[in-house]
Structure 1
């Protein structure tokens, strides 16, 4: 069997940013790979929207599922078979990190409910509060109880999968982070978004990015190198 450290980390590219943002800042998979802060970790990118085959969980060291402008509740065929693959990955104890759409898809795959947020969009830099359950979580342990994170979502995990551990939320979004099993996490916020990306989304979706609407989010960003260490471990 190939040693786990020699296997690649899979980035499941389930969406793309707006073309004008990608032209300036690149795309989701590039932000994630940079955020991992581990140039020696081999990374492979697969786009299931294009019909690209997903590897067997035993062939990879872990997976990060990107955000998307699609909606999980639309149940597109590529999304549904990706959800089925995620169930297999979780059952195989593969380290999984779902971001925004990936967070929602992971919840849906495991029996949770995803739908439009009743209050609309959460956009910009938002506060996140950890639950006590995060204190001994392999990914979140040691982080401050309160930190800022970048957010951009219209849909939400309305009900967590049975047995999932709720790790973080805020007054707008109670399900900002959860863990399913020992090593599968979903985060509604975007640890891969820098300030420039969040300003670009604010400008694109609202027409402006006022002073103070975007703040640094180093704590949220630290989840990516933390996840890389779990994958290497």
Structure 2
């Protein structure tokens, strides 16, 4: 199965030499599932044309420094792409900004949260267990890096993962072929720490310090990646 990575942002320039391009994080994550995925990448934030969703096996919409409310030329075409993919039931995953723009395109409300920065490893309650994650435990700890949040999910979606900080952290859609996550299962610990440190001066020091300390707790990113792999393989 080929996963088409719709790249809407990249690793910050100051971290790219150390951690590489963003697409590599997703490829590494999916390779570790052992599902034998192959990959294509379309950098829509750099002006690359959108592919036809009908021609794709699976879609991954990445994180981004952009917000859904920004005035960027590729955002409305991305919304149209999401709606067409959703209508065609092309398997689709959104992560962080991808989670937010999917919700926005399909009728939800996404905004800059009054809660501020979510950084480091957050723990999320598993509220329900869709078919692809039937074996999930009661909670999952995954790295995050965001200010924006899905405030109101689309009517087409149900929340399956939540925390007090991020009540709508995981969405599963009624067409049976779309899921999204606010946190980043593709981040390794070193990158999560470096990204939190990069926010110092933008986020309060205490938030950054807590985020860095939180990475010491066990990560469930590998398990989440496995669930995502099962989602795509099951479509």
Q: Check whether TM > 0.5.
A: yes
**Deviation readout 1:167-208 (Å, 9 max, x if unpaired):** 111111101101112121110000101101111011111276
Normalising by structure 1, what TM-score? Answer: 0.89
Shift of 1:223: 2.7
The corresponding residue for 1:59 is 55
Instruction: Point out the more displaced range, 117-126 or 73-82.
Output: 73-82
Q: Extract unaligned runs of 5+ from structure 2.
A: 202-207
SS in 2 for 1:226: helix
The corresponding residue for 2:86 is 90
CA contact (8 A) 2:35 2:229 kept: no
**Deviation readout 1:122-170 (Å, 9 max, x if unpaired):** 1111111010xx22x0333211111211010010111100131111111
**Take 1:77 and 1:69, find their aligned partners in 2: how far apart are those partners?**
15
Tell me, yes or no, if structure 1 residue 115 matches structure 2 residue 111: yes
The corresponding residue for 1:70 is 66
SS in 1 for 2:74: helix
CA contact (8 A) 2:170 2:180 kept: yes
CA RMSD, Structure 1 to Structure 2 (Å): 1.9
Tell me, yes or no, if structure 1 residue 194 matches structure 2 residue 188: yes
Q: How many residues align?
A: 224
Q: Which runs of 4+ in 1 moved over 4 A?
A: 207-211
Write the mapping of 1:137-148 to structure 2, written as runs, cut at 5 A: 137-148=130-141
**Take 2:79 and 2:217, find their aligned partners in 1: how far apart are those partners?**
32
**Take 1:75 and 1:143, find their aligned partners in 2: how far apart are those partners?**
38
**Deviation readout 1:43-99 (Å, 9 max, x if unpaired):** 000011222122212211101111001111114220121111011111111111100
CA contact (8 A) 2:132 2:230 kept: no
The corresponding residue for 1:42 is 38
**Take 1:16 and 1:153, find their aligned partners in 2: how far apart are those partners?**
14
**Take 2:45 and 2:190, find their aligned partners in 1: how far apart are those partners?**
27
Tell me, yes or no, if structure 1 residue 215 matches structure 2 residue 216: yes
Q: Which of 75, 81, 87 lines up with 2:77 in the alignment?
A: 81
CA contact (8 A) 2:144 2:184 kept: yes
CA contact (8 A) 1:11 1:44 kept: yes
